[in-house]
Amino acid sequence: MTATLDTSAFGTPVEIGQISRELKKLWERENEVSTRASLINFAVYCEGAEAMRAATNLIFEFTKHHACRALLVGYEPSSPEASVQAWINAHCHLSRAGAKQICCEQISFLFEGNTQNRIPSIVFSSLDSDLPLVFWWQGEFPEEIDQQLWSWVDRLIFDSQSWSSPREQFERLNAIICANSRLTPCDLNWTRSLHLRQALAQIFDAPQHRSILDGLQHVSIGHAPEYRSTALLLAGWIAAQLKLNQQREEANGTRFIGSRGNVVTFDFKEVTGRSISKCCLASSDASVDLQRDPAGDFFRVAVHAAEGQVYNHLLPAGSNDTAELLLEEIGGGGKHRVYLRALPIAEALLESR
C-alpha cells in the first residue's frame, strides 16, 4: 500500500519506539524561532490514503485555532501485510503577537492490514500527558476495537450524517456512551444545525413569539436528500425541548402529542440546497419561517405575528464545511445533554418516511 501512498505531507518518518526522542530533536531545532503549544490531544481516525491527506490539511487549519498535539491514525485494512508506520511533523503559524511562530506537532500513523487492534496502545503511548483527548472518528464505529480506547476519550467526535447504517451505529454509540461516563459524544451532524438552532432560539427569546411554541401545530423541515439525519436530529431537538411525544405516522407527517394534549405534526421534505435549507414552525395564527439564503451564509427569518405584522431578520448561518464544524464543536465545549435528549427521538424517526 505505502508504495502508492504519498507520505510527504506527514513529515519525517520515524520508528515507533523513537517518537518522543525524534519530537524532542524536532523542537530543539525549531526552538529559536517557534514556540510549541498544546492544550489538547487531538486524534483523528480515518481510512485510506486520501482521507489521511485530507485530514492532514484539516489538522493544519485546526491548529491555527486550537493548540494541540495531533495524532493522525490512518487505517488501510485492504493491505495484505500487517505493518505500522509513523511520521512526525509540525504545523506552524505566526502568532497574533507577530514575532514567534506557534507550532503544533502532528504524529501520523498508518496501520496496514489486520492491525486495528494495535491502535489503542499506540494512541495511549503517544498522548501529551494531562491534556484531554479529543478523538475524531471518521466513518463508522467498528465492533471489534478494544473498548478500553473509549475510556480514554474525553470528547468523541463523529458525523452521523456519513453513516451508511445509522441505526446500528447509534446502537454502538449508545453502548460506548453508557460504558464511559466521562466521554462526551460530539456529533458533527448536530453541530451542523447549531446556527439554525441558535437562530430559532433567538427568535423565541422574545416572549411575545413564544405563543407559537405554546400553540405549535406544525413543523416543516426542508433538507437536502443526503441530510435527512440532520433534519431528524433537528426535529428531535424541537420535540425534546417542547416535551412532545411521538405518536404515529400520518398522511401529512409524523404526529406528536404535547404535554397538554395538543397535536403537532412534523413533515420532512427533500429540497435541493445545503443541509437544511428551510424550517417552519406554525401555530394556528402565527409562524416562524426560516430559509437559508442559497447565495450567502445567512438565514432569512420571517416572523408572521398573530396581529398580522411580519418581522424580518437576517441571522448568520455559518458555512457548515467540515473544518468550521470541527472548530465550532471544539470551541463550544459542553456536555451535549440536549443532544442526548434529542437523539432517541431522532432514532425513532429513522423509521418514519
Contacts 24+ apart (CB under 8 A), 283-290: 283/211, 283/212, 283/213, 283/214, 283/215, 283/216, 283/217, 284/215, 284/217, 285/215, 286/209, 286/211, 286/212, 287/212, 288/200, 288/203, 288/204, 288/209, 288/212, 290/196, 290/199, 290/200
- Binding positions for other proteins, rule: CB under 8 A: 35, 37, 39, 64-67, 93, 95-97, 102, 194-195, 197-208, 210, 213, 237-238, 241-243, 293, 296, 298, 301, 303, 309, 311, 313-316, 331, 334, 336-339
Nearer to other proteins by Cβ, of 51 and 301: the residue is 301
Nearer to other proteins by Cβ, of 13 and 334: the residue is 334
What 3-state class would DSSP assign to 249? strand
Nearer to other proteins by Cβ, of 64 and 255: the residue is 64
Per-residue DSSP letters for 22-35? HHHHHHHHHTTTEE
Q: To the nearest whole angstrom, how small is the minimum distance from the Cβ of residue 49 to other proteins?
A: 29
Cα gap 217→267, rounded to integer Å? 11
Nearer to other proteins by Cβ, of 82 and 314: the residue is 314
Nearer to other proteins by Cβ, of 179 and 314: the residue is 314
What 3-state class would DSSP assign to 75? strand
Cα gap 172→180, rounded to integer Å? 12
What 3-state class would DSSP assign to 196? helix
Q: To the nearest whole angstrom, how small is the minimum distance from the Cβ of residue 119 to other proteins?
A: 28
Would you give the end-to-end CA distance of the chain in angstroms?
42
| Cα–Cα nearest to 71, from 82, 83, 87 | 87
Specify the DSSP class assigned to residue 168. Answer: H
Q: To the nearest whole angstrom, how small is the minimum distance from the Cβ of residue 298 to other proteins?
A: 6
Nearer to other proteins by Cβ, of 203 and 282: the residue is 203
Q: To the nearest whole angstrom, how small is the minimum distance from the Cβ of residue 239 to other proteins?
A: 11
Nearer to other proteins by Cβ, of 13 and 333: the residue is 333
Q: To the nearest whole angstrom, how small is the minimum distance from the Cβ of residue 306 to other proteins?
A: 13
Q: To the nearest whole angstrom, how small is the minimum distance from the Cβ of residue 205 to other proteins?
A: 5
Cα gap 50→215, rounded to integer Å? 50
Q: To the nearest whole angstrom, how small is the minimum distance from the Cβ of residue 100 to other proteins?
A: 8
Nearer to other proteins by Cβ, of 78 and 202: the residue is 202
Nearer to other proteins by Cβ, of 208 and 247: the residue is 208
Q: To the nearest whole angstrom, how small is the minimum distance from the Cβ of residue 53 to other proteins?
A: 23
Q: State the amino acid at position 304 in one-letter form.
A: H
Q: To the nearest whole angstrom, how small is the minimum distance from the Cβ of residue 297 to other proteins?
A: 8
Which positions ≥6 away from 105 have C-beta within 8 Å?
Answer: 23, 26, 27, 36, 38, 69, 70, 88, 89, 90, 91
